[in-house]
Copies of this chain bind each other. A is one copy, B any other.
Amino acid sequence: MATRERKERERADRHRRILAAARELAEDQGWDAVTTRRLADRIEFSQPVLYGHFPGGKDEIVAGVALEGFAELATTLRAAVDDAGPGGAPGALIAAYLDFAAAHPAVYTAMFESAALPFAHDDTPAPLTEGFAVLRDVLAPAPTAEPGRYAELAWATLHGLATLARAGRLPPDGAAERLALAVTLLAPE
């Protein structure tokens, strides 16, 4: 009776621990260091157990980390906007986005490079669209054009900044200046 519940609890717990181990290992030593053997070691089970939780194998585990990342990003952005005054929302949003990417580079990588998540489709999971919704609400100005298109462009700018910065493609000392410039460009006046 209660055994079934306990087992389900244990199973859910293990599921979380796999994702947490993958994320931790990736942030610590990069995604190359995330191997099924190491993950199995960390959760103290053998390799095949991973496939009971993620039939899609390693790719599905990375996608799981990415999905968590999207949810986290959405709440982070929402919180930043809510905390800022009405005028400061765009700036707070932009800063929060770039901060998130800089603080969790491995998760951000999983979100946009490794994972094959359904995007811009009807069956896109909710967490994947929420972050974008915040962007559209805060950054899209009324007169310009379709707010969706404008938000896509703003998102691309932020994503490009995050990606280039992480890859060491932009001089680090110009970060603050770029942030200010991004605000004036994406949220004028």
Residues of chain A whose beta carbon lies under 8 Å from any beta carbon of chain B: 112-113, 119-120, 144-146, 148-150, 152-153, 155-161, 163-164, 167-171, 174, 177-178, 181-182, 185
Contact = CB atoms under 8 A, between A and B. Distances in A.
Interface-central residue, A144, A158, A161, by most chain B CB under 10 Å? A161
A127 to B, nearest CB: 14
Contacts of A169: 112, 119-120
A177 B149 contact: yes
A101 to B, nearest CB: 12
A162 to B, nearest CB: 8
A15 to B, nearest CB: 26
A98 to B, nearest CB: 10
Contacts of A120: 168-171
